[in-house]
Amino acid sequence: MREYALDIADLGDLRKFQRRSPYNNEPPITVYLRKDVEAKALEIWGTWERLNGELQKRKEKEENYSESLLIVKKYNKDYRRLNTPEAKQREDTMRESGRVVLAAVAINGANFVLKLFGWLYTGSHSLFAEAIHSLADTCNQIILAFGIRKSLQVPNKEHPYGYHPMRYIAALISGVGIFCTGTGVSLYHGVHGLLHLTSEMAPDTSYYWAFLLLLGSLISEGGTLVIALQAASRAARQQNLPLKRYILRGDDPTLNVVILEDAAAVLGVLIAGSCMGLTSFYGMPVFDAVGSLAIGGLLGGVASFVIVSNAGALVGKSIAPASLATINRCLEADEMVRAIHDVKATNMGNEVIRYKAEVDFDGRKLTRNYLDSVDLVALQQELKEVAEAGENGNLESVEEFMLKHGENIVDLLGAEVDRIENELKRKHPQVRHVDLEVL
């Protein structure tokens, strides 16, 4: 019926036959001749093209239903996870990262506008580099905000493991943007300033308003840096890690990028202010051009670190050895497991872990569990009947006995694997995907 888009009523006037069921202790099954079924399908649908079109529609409908069912199950699982203390803690961390990023977007956007007016007024190369720096930070942090939102999207048919790495992708794009835009433009403007020391700026240019703008920028950038450091410090304490190690590990790429960008922004403001002060004091524009080059180099260093750390995370970064050892001990403590081999655990983003291991199951313990689940007296009687049938040359009984109990034992093995996987996910909520290979 599925193959020819027929209903049960369409088979009523077709020839039918009874055949023995391939399953034990099951009644005979009803079969039909394929040529009769094909003739009936053509009678109903007219042509094979219409039949194939109907089959394609039904297939798409089933796929949409399966995908919707998958999404509903995913929402149910996420809802249960959100009620755990660990999940609420991770959600709070994500929200805090989002708030830090949005605050950085607003502050850097305002600083860009102010520095741009300051550069137009003074013509300072250092102030121009700082304006480009703030523009790059604003654009990059908008990308980070998009990455946070995208990483929370539920899995679908095309992306069954979800969008967790989007945070690393957004941070990587941000690093490339800093390198290409901030570093490139700042270095270009600095070199251009060295080659044209007197054509764009007079030594007696007043820097009063520029210094006020830089002071305000220093206060705002410093405030954002403090907010980001406080958020990172709380996240580091939750994982029992020093703040420096937490940042270098890159567990929260968006928060780390904000910290690095704001730290570079504070240093950039100090560099710009110092170079502009030297230019104003000595009347030599060369200091201002060198300041633009220094800011470009600073941005290049930050961008390089962001690119390298997030590229490594996208390739597949292992979790901390202590966390991996804790998960391994939980698996090895199971009575059904004799040993584990070739263990791999990678961080997929958003503190979601994918765990894989080859497991050496205890066959005797598995068999004992199966024997405990059956009636041994009935099993003994069944063995006697199989032995008598074998003595009479009836090997079909032996085959049926082995197929029956062999399939039951394999089903029990699958149930044990599911039990162990669910146990790991229950004890370690950050482990979302478990792949156990039975040796």
384-413 pLDDT tens trace: 888 887 777 677 777 888 888 888 888 889
Tell me the CB-side half-sphere exposure of residue 150, using CA atoms within 13 A.
Answer: 16
Task: Work out the angle between the directed axes of helices 395-427 and 321-332 (0-180°, nearest 10).
Answer: 140
Residue 2 lies in a domain: no
Amino acid at 224: T
**Co-location of 332 and 427 in the same domain:** yes
Check whether residue 140 and residue 274 sit in a common domain: yes
Residue 57 CA, chain-centre distance (Å), reads 33
The angle subtended at Cα 101 by Cα 100 and Cα 102, nearest 5°, is: 95
One domain for residues 72 and 148: no
Q: Which two tokens stand for residue 357?
A: 């291991």
Helix ranges (H only) for 283-375 are 286-316, 321-332, 363-372
Boundary-marking domain end, from 20, 44, 78: 78
Among 95-104, 136-145, 359-368, 417-426, the range scoring the smallest mean pLDDT is 95-104
- Residue 59's identity, in one-letter code, is K
Q: How much of the chain, in percent, has pLDDT values that exceed 90?
A: 2
| Euclidean distance between the first and the last CA atom of the chain, given in angstroms as a whole number | 40
| 236-240-242-247 Cα dihedral, nearest 10 degrees | -40
User: 305 and 217, same structural domain?
Assistant: yes
For range 241-265, the mean pLDDT: 74
Kindly state whether residue 413 falls inside one of the protein's structural domains: yes
345-385 pLDDT, tens digit per residue, is 888 776 788 899 999 998 888 888 888 888 888 888 888 88
Q: Are residues 101 and 198 part of one domain?
A: yes
Q: What is the dihedral of CA 395, 401, 402, 408, to 10 degrees?
A: 160
Is pLDDT larger for residue 82 or for residue 230? Answer: 230
* Residues 115, 173 within the same domain: yes
What pTM was estimated for this model as a whole?
Answer: 0.58
Q: Distance between CA atoms of 421 and 432, rounded to whole angstroms?
A: 10
188 in a domain, yes or no? Answer: yes
Average pLDDT, the chain: 79
Domain assignment present for residue 394? The answer is yes
CA dist 337 → 428, 429, 439 (Å): 18, 21, 11
Residues 297, 274 contacting (CB under 8 angstroms): no
Q: Please name the helix (run of DSSP H) or strand (run of DSSP E) that holds residue 101, with its range, or none.
A: helix 85-122
Same domain (yes/no): 28, 116: no
**Do 257 and 354 have their domain in common?**
no
Q: Of 272, 232, 27, whose CA–CA distance to 131 is shortest? A: 272
Q: Are residues 380 and 330 in the same domain?
A: yes
Instruction: Determine what percent of the chain is predicted with pLDDT higher than 70.
Output: 87
Task: Establish if 3 belongs to a structural domain.
Answer: no
Burial class of 246 by CB neighbour count within 10 A (0 to 12, 13 to 18, 19+): buried
Q: What is the pLDDT of residue 389?
A: 76
Neighbours of 66 (CB within 10 A): 11
In a domain, 12, yes or no: yes
115 alpha-carbon distance from chain centroid = 37
Q: Which pLDDT score is estimated for 62? A: 79
One domain, residues 402 and 364: yes
Instruction: Report the run of H or E that residue 337 belongs to, with start and end.
Output: strand 337-349
Give the end of a domain, one of 57, 78, 99.
78
Residue 374 lies in a domain: yes
Residue after which a domain boundary falls, among 78, 96, 123: 78
d(CA 415, CA 421): 10
Would you state the pLDDT for residue 382? 83
Domain limits for position 60: 8-78
CATH number for position 362: 3.30.70.1350
Same-domain status, 225 and 98: yes
- Count of the separate structural domains present in the chain: 3
Question: Which has more confidence, 276 or 89?
Answer: 276
CA dist., res. 144 & res. 140, Å (int): 6
Domain assignment present for residue 261? The answer is yes
Does 360 lie in the same domain as 293?
A: no
